[in-house]
A and B are shown apart, each in its own frame.
Chain A
């Protein structure tokens, strides 16, 4: 499958900084104490290419494989099959240290992702010390610089995480991720533990930093309004597969996959009088150990037919991405025709 590479507005940025080719991760899971180990495919043949400076929003329900994908990108898990390329180089061939200079994470919970016994200076300067960059004097300078960039006063250097608010801690986490000047930042639900007024500050900061340093983000979130705001491309994941991927406007204005449509429908905008939408999705998220036959989404899909039960859909190119659904396969029996 070859999802169309995004046509970037600037030709010099066309080469993808991050590329996944058929990445698959299979775990062997034991069921019960004496049960036989069975394969669980957490990430199933995922191909994505992300040009420099873009933000790929990755959405999907819990258990769909978003975090496994993030772990593979960070080098914390190795894929069972497929390749991950950063700047055209496969990451399996690079050691962890080299990879850490290029890809850095920001995690969801700023309360548990910072070591409570270390001062903010220790936390933020640790990457420099691990990578043996500079000396004590330059660490001090670098930490001051990065704290200023993320909007924290230099005096917090000697404080501890427990003395800071959630928003400040998340700024520390961002400072720690950026001090190595990475190219790619993996943001795993970076604002979902924060209050709305703090969330908007962090989102603004992430947007500013991207423009200033030309960063590329993989932005994992379950809040579609936030993804629409920050992302330039969006990938929708269901049971380990990217079922739809498109440029942000295309995805939000013309969602093609019934699952994407249901996700968009379930966004609750603050408009009174509209009531709670009926997503028409069945309740049950399927067990990934025992994925449904054919199209994995068919048990919950309002448009599913017998054909969907039997046959898995293929990836079909769309103007700026791809979709996996029989409704959009012109050679299949369920084609609904070309839409706008």
Chain B
């Protein structure tokens, strides 16, 4: 029962670029059980979106993917051929993309787009597919669902389109949903509603979910597990409580200091920053990629970085406590 639905070991993505190789994702590991939500948090360019595309088998041809293990419910995704991937995508694993404005086809009606995957993967008739589409549109909170089926994407607002995307991902009752910044383009009130909806549906259907975001507030509220990604590596992983209550990697703490906390951060005070920029991942990357921006960096950071674990909480740093206590002492 406790077998993970998805297991990833040492997933590496290399992109050949003029004059070298860009190591976009550098050996990441994670497991996901049914009903669990994993949030991958990181800044642009950290490799989080590429990771999700790699799982779905949607990478561009030039990107080289390698992994010691990448299994979905016992199916080896590293060896799966195009046909196997097609039978999984949309049916058993589905993706919700970031841009509701561009990821729907403007030339087809909402109804056509919603029922396409179901008609393709399941032995159902058009009427049954239509009924299922209406049921799901209602579930995601769209009023007058039946009349929406004949509408085109341009007739819907951004919030509605994003809900259509979610309904579409749910059509075949997938076991895994990957949502890449599903609420970034939306208003805060709609964001809360959509996240609640995803969370409730995940529980109800016992779906596993990977949520990719840069919003730490979203992560804290919906994640069972958190993975903090920096420069193609998972620098800290653990339960949401562990990562937010004892953020052990200096980068995790840096991120948390950057956002104003209502009621905690003094209004108008200077916010924390992370100086410097993300290093280039072209060519060999050695040691800790965060050392150029880290206040605790030493010469040792250029060498091998040990991984500290306690229970489910893990982080990579040469300092045994990630210098958490040193920072606590000064603040």
Contact = CB atoms under 8 A, between A and B. Distances in A.
A332 to B, nearest CB: 26
Secondary structure call for the A interface? loop
Contact of B188 (A165, A207, A266, A272): A266
A4 interface: no
Nearest to B274: A197
Interface stretch (A14-22, A87-95, A225-233): A225-233
Interface stretch (B69-77, B165-173, B219-227): B219-227
Interface stretch (A96-104, A128-136, A278-286, A303-311): A278-286
Contacts of B256: 270
Interface in A251-285: 252, 262-263, 265-279, 281, 283-285
B30 to A, nearest CB: 18
Contact of A283 (B143, B218, B267): B143
A257 to B, nearest CB: 14
Interface residues of A, number: 46
B240 A272 contact: yes
B298 interface: no
A242 to B, nearest CB: 17
A226 B188 CA distance: 13
B261 interface: yes
Question: Chain B CB within 10 Å — which of A63, A200, A226, A279 has the most?
Answer: A200
Interface residues of B, number: 54
Interface in B250-266: 254-263, 265
Contact of A270 (B44, B190, B217): B217
Contact of B244 (A203, A248, A271): A271
B217 A267 contact: yes
B102 interface: no
A231 to B, nearest CB: 8
A201 B43 contact: no
Contacts of A229: 260, 265, 267-269, 271
A291 interface: no
B129 to A, nearest CB: 24
11 contacts: A195-B44, A196-B255, A199-B259, A200-B272, A222-B187, A268-B220, A272-B239, A272-B244, A273-B241, A283-B190, A284-B143
List the 7 closest pairs (A to B, CB-CB), nearest first: A268-B217, A229-B260, A200-B258, A272-B240, A266-B192, A200-B271, A195-B43
Interface of B: 43-44, 141-143, 157-159, 187-193, 195-196, 199, 214-223, 239-241, 243-245, 254-263, 265, 267-274, 277
